[in-house]
């Protein structure tokens, strides 16, 4: 009897850990600490789900609870804000009744940085709560990590950044996992990728282009890019918005190295084109890598193969411009 239970249990564990999982909800506990005392605590659940139309994702904040004192509290508007693909912060918009304190954003396979407007001893400002990627209706961390059932929490901290004497510590634990399609058991290894991103004006004339070459090293991705666009503009290229040190000026080439984390991970190559004073900017994906079992995929369950060697995506901007991207494997091993 004991042995039977043991084997059943072992099979369950093995079966469970071999299936690929992604995270769709994270419980956040943000502690604002002065000295050794928590002066403000904010809890919420961040959830990603299918947003219905055109492959969009609905990102919501639920079960919000926080402490409040005259010196340490949320600002009056109190709504969490998010910067999507590095754009200006947008406050969460209240959804229909039903979900307690619920509000949401709509995203399109984007980087997602969550901030909370707080007042701490007379200083008001936005505290960074979560930096990540919301892609394929699931949540991963900014430096690539896909949280796993066996490793479901991440501890983040803002140090004492822009609030004097206040430390911000954030516990992020995934509470809901979904099983995603497994990576194919055999697919060729790709040695070299090329991405071509073009933004066109509404009359189809070319506004800007970025050509990128990506090589995989043992623990990093080497990314070389060429940029053309309006006079005086520049390109910032990053993985998940995190490694933003990589900037290219007009008609120049830049080479950057983006470190890879161990284990299953996800990277969106985010291109941000802007003029010198940031009067305008356009964000565009140069493609994604999902790494599962050390294999690079173009999306969950889909490898780069000779018959299916390119990933495509597109975006339409509010002013009528249109961005398109293709990321292709150009050399199989």
Ligand X SMILES: *[C@@H]1O[C@H](CO)[C@@H](O)[C@H](O)[C@H]1NC(C)=O
Judged by CB under 6 A, the chain residues 165 through 224 that form the site for ligand X are 209, 211
Stretch that binds ligand X, among 29-37, 68-76, 176-184, 236-244 (CB under 6 A): 29-37
- Closest separation in Å from C-beta 105 to ligand X: 13
- Among 15, 35, 98, 122, the residue binding ligand X under the rule CB under 6 A is 35
Q: Which residue is nearest to ligand X (CB)?
A: 55
- Helix, strand, or coil here: 304? coil
**Sequence-ordered list of residues with C-beta below 8 angstroms from that of 227, at least 6 positions apart, any chain:** 208, 209, 210, 234, 235, 248, 249, 250, 251, 252, 273
Residue 249 per-residue DSSP state: E
**8 Rama sector, left if φ>0, alpha if ψ -120 to 50, beta otherwise:** alpha
Q: How far is the CB of 321 from ligand X (least distance, A)?
A: 16
Residue of 104, 109, 172, 248 that binds ligand X (CB under 6 A) = 109
Stretch that binds ligand X, among 18-26, 49-57, 123-131, 157-165 (CB under 6 A): 49-57
Q: Count the helices and strands in the chain (H runs, E runs).
A: 1, 25
**Residue reference for tokens 């070459």:** 213
Asked if 62 touches ligand X (CB under 6 A), the answer is no
Kindly state the number of chain residues that form the binding site for ligand X, as judged by CB under 6 A: 21
The reply to whether 155 sits near ligand X by the rule CB under 6 A is no
| SS3 state at 14 | helix
Hey, what are 272's tokens?
Answer: 């941000």
Q: Which is nearer to ligand X, 95 or 209 (CB)?
A: 209
Tell which one of 22, 44, 104, 136 touches ligand X (CB under 6 A).
136
Decide: helix, strand or coil at residue 11.
Answer: helix
Q: Is the Cβ of residue 54 or residue 307 nearer to ligand X in the bound state?
A: 54
CB of 11 or CB of 75, closer to ligand X = 75
d(CA 72, CA 91): 21
Task: Give me the DSSP letters along 25-57.
Answer: EEEEEEEEEETTEEEEEEEEEEEEEE-SGGG-E
Identify the residue among 83, 128, 265, 313 touching ligand X (CB under 6 A): 313
Residue 115 within binding range of ligand X, rule CB under 6 A: no
- Segment contacting ligand X by CB under 6 A, of 176-184, 226-234, 255-263, 265-273: 226-234
Q: What six digits make up the tokens of 78?
A: 């109190």
Site of interaction with ligand X (CB under 6 A): 29, 35-36, 41, 43, 54-56, 65-67, 108-109, 136, 209, 211, 226-228, 299, 313
């Amino acid at each position: 009897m004991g042995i039977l239970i043991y084997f059943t249990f072992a099979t369950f564990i093995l079966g469970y850990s071999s299936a690929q999982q992604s995270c769709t909800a994270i419980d956040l506990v943000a502690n604002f600490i002065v000295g050794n005392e928590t002066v403000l605590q904010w809890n919420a659940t961040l959830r990603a789900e299918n947003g219905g139309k055109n492959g969009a994702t609905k990102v919501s904040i639920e079960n919000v609870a926080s402490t409040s004192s005259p010196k340490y509290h949320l600002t009056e508007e109190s709504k969490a804000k998010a910067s999507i693909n590095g754009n200006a912060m947008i406050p969460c918009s209240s959804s229909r009744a039903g979900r307690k304190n619920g509000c949401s954003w709509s995203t399109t396979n984007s980087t997602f940085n969550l901030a909370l407007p707080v007042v701490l001893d007379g200083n008001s400002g936005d505290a960074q709560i979560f930096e990540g990627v919301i892609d394929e209706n699931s949540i991963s961390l900014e430096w690539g990590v896909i949280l796993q059932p066996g490793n479901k929490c991440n501890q983040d901290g803002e140090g004492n950044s822009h609030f004097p004497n206040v430390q911000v510590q954030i516990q992020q634990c995934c509470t809901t996992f979904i099983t995603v399609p497994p990576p194919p058991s055999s697919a060729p290894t790709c040695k070299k990728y090329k991405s071509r991103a073009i933004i066109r004006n509404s009359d189809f004339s070319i506004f800007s282009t970025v050509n990128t070459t990506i090589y995989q090293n043992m623990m990093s991705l080497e990314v070389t890019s060429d940029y053309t666009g309006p006079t005086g503009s520049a390109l910032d290229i990053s993985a998940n918005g995190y490694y933003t040190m990589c900037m290219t000026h007009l008609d120049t080439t830049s080479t950057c190295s983006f470190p890879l984390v161990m284990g299953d991970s996800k990277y969106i190559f985010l291109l941000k084109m802007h003029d010198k004073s940031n009067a305008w900017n356009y964000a565009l994906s140069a493609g994604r890598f999902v790494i599962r079992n050390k294999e690079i995929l173009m999306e969950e369950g889909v490898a780069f193969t000779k018959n299916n060697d390119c990933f495509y995506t597109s975006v339409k901007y509010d002013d009528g411009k249109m961005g398109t991207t293709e990321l292709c494997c150009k050399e199989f091993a």
